[in-house]
């Protein structure tokens, strides 16, 4: 675990005790409240590992066919407070982003891409929670290797 992750770590037991707004416990200033939920899920995934996380998840997520390394990469970026500001997007593949959010029980409902340079795209993604129907806007920079 990197020093940044250690510094940004939220204690799971503290979240359970509070059972209120995760925002107060986040080192991610100005983040939307729904990001606190995603942050706590990412923290659990990284600290428990994929197998234990899946056993404890009510939907059995992540799906065994998902790319676990890409989900882990996304969780590490969320712990670094990336994704909720356009200036600090996540950097995952399209499938990796969708698998990450599906692991947290969200599905994409809207996508808008904005070209960044010759090959890259900054995606503006709205995800909706399966059960609560709450939504969150996240940013993901999809980097395509230069094919020239």
Tokens coding 10: 């939220």
Angle between helices 68-79 and 33-48 (to 10 degrees): 130
pLDDT, residue 122, reads: 96
pLDDT, residue 27, reads: 66
Task: State pLDDT tens for residues 35-58.
Answer: 888 998 999 999 999 999 999 999
Task: State pLDDT tens for residues 9-35.
Answer: 444 444 444 444 444 455 676 778 788
Question: Rounded to 10 degrees, what is the CA torsion of 135, 17, 81, 128?
Answer: -10
At 145, give phi and psi (nearest 5°).
-65, 145
- pTM listed for this prediction: 0.79
């Amino acid at each position: 675990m990197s020093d940044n992750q250690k510094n940004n770590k939220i204690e799971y037991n503290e979240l359970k005790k509070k059972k209120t707004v995760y925002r107060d416990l986040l080192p991610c200033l100005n983040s939307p409240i729904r990001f606190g939920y995603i942050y706590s899920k990412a923290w659990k995934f990284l600290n428990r590992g994929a197998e234990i996380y899946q056993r404890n998840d009510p939907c059995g997520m992540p799906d065994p066919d998902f790319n676990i390394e890409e989900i882990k990469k996304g969780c590490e970026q969320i712990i670094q407070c990336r994704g909720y500001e356009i200036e600090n997007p996540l950097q995952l593949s399209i499938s990796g982003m969708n698998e990450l959010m599906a692991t947290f029980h969200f599905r994409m409902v809207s996508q808008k891409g904005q070209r960044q340079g010759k090959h890259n795209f900054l995606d503006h993604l709205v995800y909706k929670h399966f059960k609560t129907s709450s939504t969150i806007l996240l940013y993901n920079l999809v980097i395509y290797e230069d094919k020239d």
